[in-house]
Structure 1
Amino acid sequence: MVSMPVEPSIPANPRQAVADAYNVLAKPYLNWKESNGSKDGERGLQHQFNHFLQLLERIPEVSDNAQVLELGCGAGIPWTDMAARCLQSTGHITAVDISQAQIDLASQHLLQSDTPHSNITLLCQDIMNLQFEANHFDAIYAIFSLIHLPPNDQKMALVNIFKWLKPGGLVFMNFSGDPEASVSVHQWIDDKTEMYWSALGLGGYDEQLKNVGFEIVVREVAINVEDGREIPFVYYIAKKV
């Protein structure tokens, strides 16, 4: 993600712009991750995600029927697949993405493969339009997804995540690790499709999580190398108390 000052070219509907972009870039994005993603960053992310899943497994109340929500599942690999395997006999995952092209890929990878998962429900839905009962999920995770929301939507998403989690529930998510709030709009991957990101700044995320009511369990700033550029991201595991 490239951070830039707010520009007049910001889309009138940033979330729809993101959906339109991923409908074009779903498959190219998979190829880009393989060729341009940060292997060290991916290993670090996988380590933290495994830690999150291990913490989830240790909650006694979720040993038989964990309810997990993924916000922004993309093509379903690797994170949805990893979570589904971990919770194969003990839980169900509701995986959401705003892009129908991404949901179609996720269905191919997760539901139509030689060994399909039976514990996944896929939904093509805007995160900000989701409606769930309070205290419904044991865990929620959002990887490289909430960064596509406008700043005020990110704040509201954190409020909703807290509401949807059961007491003691866990959340895993990452954001831009830039120290200052920022908005970025530029042509991405194919150099012609417009993509949108925003960030609250490191202090903004720390403050917002605490104001909502989360207890921060893990906070780590790590560097991803993308297309030769060093991109900071902050990773959180937090608990609803």
Structure 2
Amino acid sequence: MSNDNNKRLISKLARSGRLTHAYIIIGESEADRQELCDYLAAALLCAGAAEAEQLPCGKCSHCRKLSKKIHPDLIRIERQPDKKELLVDQIREMSREAYVLPNEADRKVFVIEEAERLNSNAQNAMLKLLEEPPEYACFILLVTNPGSLFDTVRSRCVELYASVKANTHEYSELSREIVSSLLKHDSMALVGACYKAEKLEKAAFDLLIDELYAVFIDAAKKAESYEKKIRCIELTELIEKLQDMRNYNVAAGHCLGLLLSQLT
């Protein structure tokens, strides 16, 4: 599976001005992590208009410089070749740089490669920066295993899974069940579907929410009656709230509770 779902979410958040200041990109493939990182960094720095069909626009001076890897406001922090860890001095230097205003863009983006190699002192310094960042500074941590990061660091970042290999059939079937139960006002069916949805892996659950959003958008366009159209629009707005909740790492159970409240 590609990074398409993540890119759609990032573009949507960029257009609405809701990108946050810290992300962790998780994935076994370095190429997949870098692909998603490049897209997110471009969305954070892009100067395209908010009403553009897609952000990043790929056309503005910031997007062009990023594609050429010459943007002065994208800074990469890498492990020194002769060291096994990312050191606290590197994070302190990044912190000093973070408080210098951006050169050209409205934001300054720092990418921490192999962030799972941050030692304890470096993670503590990183945590302090995440807690009180300059308003224009953004951070992207790239990891294979997020479990190596402090929980306090993770809780201050939005986690994105690069090229998730989710069970497509599993979440697609659940999507159909949830859509049907919401449109038919079948509370028992919705409870059963939500019970199964809560057992999904995080990545599959996020994809389920994204698919529900796409389904209700399409259903609103094709609705044969005014009442059904309004219902689909209302449910689309609800799913947008769930996407925002997941963007801030709200647990699946809380998200599903909001969904269930629609039929109570």
Q: TM-score, normalised by structure 1?
A: 0.35
Q: Which has the higher contact order (CA 8 A, sep 6+)?
A: 1
Q: TM-score, normalised by structure 2?
A: 0.33
More strand by percentage: 1
More helix by percentage: 2
- Who wins on radius of gyration, i.e. which is larger? 2
